[in-house]
Amino acid sequence: MEPYKFGIRFQITNAATQPLTDFIAVFHGWIQRQALAGHLLVDVHDYSHVPNGPGILLVAHEANLNIGETPRSLIYIRKQPTPLTETFAAAQAAAKLLTTEHGVQFQFSQFEVFANDRLLAPNTAAGAAQWQALVAQSTGGQVVQQSNDPRERLTFVVTRQP
């Protein structure tokens, strides 16, 4: 399977009123322990002042992870081309760590997968047709293209049995 730069968004189903800034300490704690296997965790960045922004960002060499708003979610974006199955597994691992350690709950029955590469995966009908099967196969869900605005990243909504 060819590696590409994908991102995953898992919506948070609780903790919606918890201050975003609470996650600053959470992510610093992860860095102290290098808690995310397969990742070199580097830094935490506070974007809580930006409306609809990335919220609290955890920077790793391999990926950016952030707790963002609208709706509150964990977003995992791979920086280097990586097989989607690995990206998906890493995002799930991060989500599970937040659940285990901080009680954050996620909606795993429906989530988003997006290609963070407009060159190889443009948000067009042809782009969607090219990538849909891979996303379905890698995530084990049913896949629908979210929108067809060519300026946006190619994004699929994935629905699957919990």
Partner 1 sequence: MTWKAKLGSQIPAELGKEIDVFETQMELRKLGKIDEKLFAETRLRRGAYGQRYDNAQRFDGFKTQRLTYPHAGLTKGPDTAWDAPGMQRIKIPFGGVSPEQLEVLADIAEEYADGILHITTRQDFQLHFVHIEDTPASMRRLAAVGITTREACGNSVRNVTACPIAGVCRTEAFDVTPYAKALAGFLLGHPDTQDFGRKFKIAFSGCECEACGLVYMHDMGALAQVRNGQRGFKLFVGGGLGAVPYQAKVFAEFVPVEELFPVAQAMARVFARLGEKQNRARARIKFLIDKLGVEEFQRLVAAERKILATDARWTAYLPGAAAYQENPLKPGRQLTGKPTDGLAAWLETNVYRQRQTGYAAVTIACPIGDITAQQARQLADLARKYCGGHVRTTVEQNLVFRWVSEADLPELYRGLQAIGLNEYGAGTILDVTACPGTDTCKLGIASSRGLARELRARLAGKFFTLDAAVKGLRIKMSGCFNSCGQHHIADIGFYGNTRTIGNRKVPHFQVLLGGRWRNNAGSYGLAIGSVPAKNVPAVVERITERYVRDRQGTEEFQDFIARIGKAESRRMIEDLMPVPAYEKDPDFYRDWGDPREFSLGDMGMGECAGEVVSALQFELAAAERLNFEAQLAHEAGDFAKADELAYGSMLQAARGLVHEQWQDVPADPATVVREFRTRFSAASLFSGPLAAYLFQRHDQPPVAPTREAAHRLIEEAQLFIEGAHTCGDKLRQQLAAPLKK
Question: Where do contacts with partner 1 occur on this chain (CB under 8 A)?
Answer: 5, 21, 24-25, 28, 31-32, 34, 40, 42-43, 45-54, 57, 59, 61, 64, 66, 79, 116-120, 151, 153
Rg of the chain, C-alpha, whole Å: 15
Q: Is 149 exposed, middle or buried (0-12, 13-18, 19+ CB in 10 A)?
A: exposed
**Contacts of residue 17, Cβ cutoff 8 Å, sequence gap at least 6:** none
Comparison of 40 and 133: residue with beta carbon closer to partner 1: 40
Helical (H) or strand (E) element with 97: helix 84-102
Comparison of 148 and 159: residue with beta carbon closer to partner 1: 148
Contact between residue 40 and residue 114 where contact means Cβ atoms under 8 Å apart? no
Shortest distance, position 118 Cβ to partner 1, whole Å: 6
Distance, in Å, from the CA atom of 154 to the CA atom of 46, rounded to the nearest integer, reads 27
Comparison of 43 and 101: residue with beta carbon closer to partner 1: 43
Tally of CA atoms within 13 A in the half-sphere of 129 that contains its CB: 3
Shortest distance, position 61 Cβ to partner 1, whole Å: 6
Comparison of 61 and 109: residue with beta carbon closer to partner 1: 61
Shortest distance, position 77 Cβ to partner 1, whole Å: 8
Shortest distance, position 17 Cβ to partner 1, whole Å: 17
